[in-house]
Chain A
Amino acid sequence: MLSPVILLPAILNGLMTGAIYALVALGLTLIYGVLHIINFAHGALLTAAMFAAFFAYTLLGLDPYLAVFLLAPLFFGAGYALQRFVIGPAAHDDDRNFLLVTLGLAVVIENALLYFFRADTRTINLPYAFNVVELGPAFIAVPRLVALGAVIAVALVLWAVMRSTDTGKAIRAVAKEKLGAELCGIDVAHVFAITFGLGTACVAVAACLLIPTYYVNPTAGEAFVLIAFTVVVLGGMGSVAGALIGGLLVGVIESLSSVFLGASLGQIGIFALFIMMLLVRPSGLFGARA
């Protein structure tokens, strides 16, 4: 079983699955890092974005890889509006309220999707969905390779934005010291909303990368969000690099443990690592000390 024929494809496959985890986790970690809230609506937003990508293809004939340029800004706007006009005002600055509001939002979004689109599982069949790149013994699906590249690109862009732009600096300032930032004239509500928008845009990108090989139904997003929470804690709450590396790591571990332990036990590897990490380095791979 330990032959390279299976080991190499398993690792590559893990990297590519991990890329999607990383992207979903990126959105979560951004929102956590700045707003200090755990966004329970993340999975529902991912599902909504997957539906959007699905309909962009079936109704507008827009390839998911092109739709990303439409959906990412659209979901940025939606995320901004949600935080600014719904979550922020409803939560009254209380962390517990944030949890409940986002949880409620998740329920509303999921059931709205269920109401409008029924529970049908929908898939799109793209001409290139079954194309593969041969790399030694491994066949790598083109859409998954594209996903890996895109996720790395998104992480780099996000990192650059956070590092060098005024908005990025403002976001970091608010994350570090909310009151201080406010005293310096930063519009905290605006920064919160921008961060939430960025997190939601990440989810929109993930949806466009997923839809060529995955399916969408009103609960499809959930499967990715639980794992993304793990990635966030593993990589360090609020860390962009942590989410990327953590996501890839989780993907590889999951893939290897499913090959060697079976798919049902594949999760064991992830959570064993997760518990070890919490014991040894509770702040996560790249997390700052609390």
Chain B
Amino acid sequence: MFRRSLYLNRRTFLRSTALGATASAALLHSPAVLRAQGAAVKIGVLHPVSGALSYSGQQGRLGATMAIDDINAAGGIKALGGAKIDPMLGDAQSTPDGGNAEVEKMNAAGVSAVVGGYASAICLSASQTAARYDLPYVVDVGVVDSIVTRGLKNTFRFGPGFGVIAKTALENLVTINDQAGKPAKSVMIVHEDSAFGAGLAKLLNAQLPDRGFQVLDTIPHPTPMREFESVVLKIKAQNPDLVIPANYYNEYVLLARTMQQQRVRPKGIYSVLGGAASSYKFVKEFPEAAQYIMDCNHWFDPKNPKAVALKKRVEDKGQFYTYEVYMNYSCMLLLADALERAASADRAKITDALASSTFSGHLMPYGPTKFVNGQNEGAAPVNTQVLGNDIQVILPTQFASAKPVFPMPPT
């Protein structure tokens, strides 16, 4: 029975391949014709636009779609006869599974590449799914380092990873503290308990003592968190010089507000990838709670006129210019540049073009673009501080727009 069906299958298989060969030969010819007319290049735009991460996801989608509109308005991909980019928007629903499902759909729809993911967990699984189809995947934010250390040929991260961010953050913290005459000696870390916060806390715990800081306590918390009073009580009881929060926007704001309410005022609040620490929304809504908070995070280059022009356009739309926006905008430009150089919508050619990219037309304060194992070696975070009603870059000095204010002056 088994044999027979196998035999029959082989027969039908043989017949269908004959047909298939003809069909695919026809197919192979048709894109060439279409290409001459500048057929649109389908690009998957994947973000968690619903669920717990939906705010970040929607901001990311905004950045990506604005970039696509700009690219299309400027004449599309010239090497492909002015082909427009046709975005296929996907919702990862704030879960890795949701991200996978969308990548499957995008692959089935024949996209040439995928941009996005936002959260590390989503980026990890979505890029892996994309790798099965040799589908180029540009990670927009996802900072966990394992995203680019798995040897996936299709995965590219334009922004900095965790290791680089944490290293820069620690170096800059030491610099700021030294410049102020070393007022800070003790630290408390408040972090959300998933991959991002817990990973960062582990790293800080390992590295801070070597740099002369004593870690008094490390407090993990879930997301969402209903109140921060008990956390702030612990901070109050131990009275650290520095508080280092590592969590997402809502929790960050609640924590800062509760600290203000409970009159807990350490010498500094220094965050690494703080969810709200360098967010215009937070500064606008709670200027007092946000004042003097320092952050080591993704940030646009304040001296780049393109980045500043985009800021105005985003704000004119009534939206905040958050890092998701300019990072996705930059990633989409990076991909468009790769499409130009590949002169093809073919996945393998785009992958090669991304791998050899030296793209410089982005909005970020990065060094020269160079991908090593999928990671852009030029990517780097900067340090920002909330001063007045604005967010200023305080380090590195070549991008800085203000000097750090540390320790926090008394109210």
Contacts and interface: CB of A to CB of B under 8 A. Distances in A.
Interface in A124-175: 125, 129-130, 132, 139, 141
Interface in B126-164: none
- Which bucket holds chain A's interface residue count? 35 or more
Contact of B237 (A6, A139, A222): A6
A40 B293 CA distance: 40
A288 interface: no
Given A223-B224, A262-B221, 9 more contacts: A13-B230, A118-B58, A132-B262, A139-B262, A222-B224, A223-B226, A258-B231, A262-B219, A263-B221
Interface stretch (A72-80, A92-100, A213-221): A213-221
Nearest to A141: B261
Enumerate the 9 nearest inter-chain pairs by beta-carbon distance, A residue then B residue, closest first. A119-B54, A263-B221, A258-B230, A264-B220, A13-B229, A264-B193, A119-B55, A223-B224, A6-B237
A199 to B, nearest CB: 21
Nearest to A9: B233
A57 to B, nearest CB: 13
A17 interface: yes
A244 B224 CA distance: 24
A282 interface: no
Given A118-B58, A119-B49, A263 B250 contact: no
B285 interface: yes
A263 B231 contact: yes
Interface string A247-286: 0000000010011001110110000000000000000000
A86 to B, nearest CB: 23
B263 interface: yes
A17 B52 CA distance: 22
A219 B229 CA distance: 22
Given A1-B237, A125-B286, A223-B224, A139 B263 contact: yes
- Interface residue SS majority, chain B: helix
B229 A218 contact: no
A246 B394 CA distance: 50
Contacts of A211: none
Contacts of B51: 219
Contact of A10 (B49, B52, B233, B288): B233
B222 A217 contact: no
Contacts of B233: 6, 9-10, 13, 259
B171 to A, nearest CB: 29
